[in-house]
Structure 1
Amino acid sequence: MGIAASSATHGAARPIMDDAEFERWVRLLESRTGVIVPPERKPFLETGLRRRMRETGHTEFRRYYDELLDGARGAMEWAALVDHLTVHETHFFRHMPSLNLIRDEWLPQWLAGVPADRSLHALSVGCSTGEEAYTLAMVLDAALSGFEPQRLFGITATDVSQPALAMARQALYPMHRLAEIPPNYREHAIETVDGEQFRIVEKLRRRVGFACVNLLHASRAPLRKLDLIFCQNVLIYFARERRGELLDALARLLQPNGLLVLGPGEASNWTHPQLVRTGGRQTLAYLRTTKEIPA
């Protein structure tokens, strides 16, 4: 009897997702996150859902779906599910051409056009476990450290995954990740915790604040006007027709002469009347003109 019960449980733990069920989950994900799951990604979605359902004791897609709509309890489980379905792969200094554009071309021009006591405010979208945000902090700190009076900066880093943000706030990374950070940055940016981990130094940690924000709602988030927006490898998860809307919302957050940096190929056909393309062929970046962007 024990074996039969075990077999029944095992069978029930692997529900079949037919096309109608798949479409229902696709609509939920798109409405809540904006992320599109195309038909060819059905196995990925099904596997991710099954994994989380096993952890929570669910055996039916429909019942699990209904629980996600159940008030505060459903909201907590939704946050956990999004973390399961979100890709967190990232690296320090992931795209050097974009960072070089910020440091060597945009930043000197920006500094020349603002008062000496003006602080720089940046946004890292889809920051995952913090590597991108801390990379920006390293680059900006090194570039601004030689100015008198001292130039200050702050970075708001956002993601939809609370567990990823918790890791980002700790700023602890395995020692093998140190190879991703160029040697000329390491002395002033990291401290060894033990033989297996290093940590971003407090000076840089204080410059970065993390917040759980969905890109769909970025324009409604309490963000001040920004000088720099770094949004790479995020738009690829959204439908092409929606990417323009999201970029328009980000453009409205930019200060005059602010810079929007995207991942190469993410939205190469997008245009905006108050933004002009800048940088070389290896980058995809837009500079905000001095004209006012209507809300």
Structure 2
Amino acid sequence: MALAIGNWSALNAMPGMDEAEFARWAELLERRTGVVVPPARKPFLVTAVRGRMRETGHTRFDDYYRDLHKMPEGAIEWTTLVDRLTVHETHFFRHQPSFDLIANEWLPRVAQSGSQTALHAWSVGCSTGEEAFTLAMVLDKHVSAIRDARIYFGVTATDVSHPALAVGRGALYPRSKLNEIPAEYRERYVDELDADSFSIRESLRKRVGFAQFNLLDVARAPLKRLDLIFCQNVLIYFARDRRRELLDSLAGLLKPGGMLVLGAGEVISFAHPQLSRVPHRQALAFLRNR
């Protein structure tokens, strides 16, 4: 999740956003989503807000801000604006070392324990679904390859954006993304529809459930005793103290032996009494102590 960069040159005639106005909008975004907008990103926020203002017929930032607080129409408009303020840039198999860690080290250990009959994974900030389906592909392929392993798995995929989630539920992607998926996975999990698009096969789609969720509410998350939490390229948009709070809450949702996978370099010097760092040179992950 990142701040959007639009091209709305036609909006230059609208009033500018002074520092006080920017501070008010930045505070609103952080309070409602947790995303921090530093002063250097002011042009991105202004561009996105202006773009939506043009569509709604607003010409003043303060008028639009006020209308966002009207209920219930303001809540509906806020959902649309948040989608404009975030860019859903994601890829299949975005960080291969993390998926290799899951497939080659964590899954065999889980299967060897003999105590698992079901695995529940959570893709946090799943955007348009590429990450969640990658997780499902990796789990399905490697669980089925483990001899005598009778393990069922499911992936819960969440994001703050309803439009992004709709794309994930549809599981339909432009053909330009096809090469992101290794050939061995394409053969098992992809249906090439035409020259422009492909879809994820129904058998895998059934393993992934999409739901709207704001990570700020993680302390009240309905998900409990998770085996795997995959949270990459999400925490970097939160303030440092907020990141620690979120990580503590995520740690509390893991089962003993469960693993939390973060983006490499996303957090520095993180430690938790219930977690142990996984020794890996290219991936950042923690195991819940038994």
Same fold by TM-score, threshold 0.5 exceeded?
Answer: yes
| Correspondence for 1:121 | 120
Separation (CA, whole Å) in 2 of partners of 1:114 and 1:239: 40
**Which residue of structure 2 aligns with residue 158 of structure 1?**
158
Given the superposition, is the C-alpha separation of residues 131 and 12 from structure 1 closer, same or farther in structure 2, using an over 3 Å criterion? closer
Structure 1 residue 14, shift from structure 2 partner = 1.4
Residue 72 of structure 2 is aligned to residue 72 of structure 1: yes
- Alignment correspondent of 1:261: 261
In structure 1, what is the equivalent of residue 176 of structure 2?
176
Amino acid at match of 1:85: L
The one-letter code of the counterpart of 2:70 is D
Pairs within 5 Å for 1:1-295:
14-115=14-115, 118-146=117-145, 147-148=147-148, 150-290=150-290
Instruction: State the alpha-carbon separation in 1 of the partners of residues 218 and 127 from structure 2.
Output: 16
Spell out, residue by residue over 1:174-194, the C-alpha distance to the aligned partner (whole angstroms, 9 max, x if none): 112110000111111100122
Moved over 4 A (4+): 10-13
Q: Taking every aligned residue pair, what percent have the same amino acid on both sides?
A: 61
Residues 236 and 266, structure 2, Cα contact 8 Å, conserved in 1: yes
Determine helix, strand or coil for the equivalent of 2:94: coil
Q: Distance in 1 between matches of 2:76 and 2:217?
A: 19
Write the deviation string for residues 14-52 of structure 1: whole angstroms up to 9, x where unpaired.
Answer: 121000000001111111011110000000100010011
In the aligned structure 1, how far is the partner of 2:11 from the partner of 2:230? Answer: 46
Partner secondary structure for residue 127 of structure 1: coil
Distance 1:15 1:271 in 2: 46
Give the paired residue count.
280
- Paired with 2:15 and 2:256, the residues of 1 have a C-alpha distance of 53
Is there any run of 5+ residues in structure 2 with no aligned partner, and where?
1-9
Q: Deviations over 1:206-245 (max 9, x none)?
A: 0000011011112312113200000000001001111000
One-letter identity of the residue aligned with 1:220? R
Q: Structure 1 residues 178, 57: closer, same or farther in 2, change over 3 A? A: same
Please give the TM-score of this superposition, normalised by the length of structure 2: 0.94
Query: How far apart are the structure 1 equivalents of 2:114 and 2:217?
Result: 29
SS at match of 2:87: coil
Tell me by how many angstroms 1:202 deviates: 0.6
Equivalent AA in structure 2 for residue 119 of structure 1: A
Q: Quote the Cα distance in structure 1 between the aligned partners of 2:222 and 2:52.
A: 32
Contact 2:107 2:143 in 1 (8 A): no
Residue 123 of structure 1 aligns to which amino acid in structure 2?
Answer: W
| CA contact 1:12–1:60 (8 Å) conserved in 2 | no
The 1:11/1:46 distance shift into structure 2, 3 A limit, reads closer
Distance in 1 (alpha carbons) for counterparts of 2:154 and 2:31: 31
* Deviations, residues 144-170 of structure 1 (Å, cap 9, x unaligned): 113446421000000000000001100
* Partner SS for 1:84: helix
Q: Distance in 1 between matches of 2:226 and 2:48?
A: 35
Judging changes above 3 Å, is the alpha-carbon distance between structure 1 residues 211 and 288 closer, same or farther for their aligned structure 2 residues? Answer: same
Equivalent position amino acid for 1:127 in 2 = C
Which runs of no fewer than 5 residues in structure 1 stay unpaired?
1-9, 291-295
Aligned Cα RMSD in Å? 1.4
Q: Which has the larger radius of gyration?
A: 1
Alpha-carbon spacing, 1:13–1:54, altered in 2? closer, same or farther (3 Å): farther
The amino acid of 1:278's aligned partner reads V
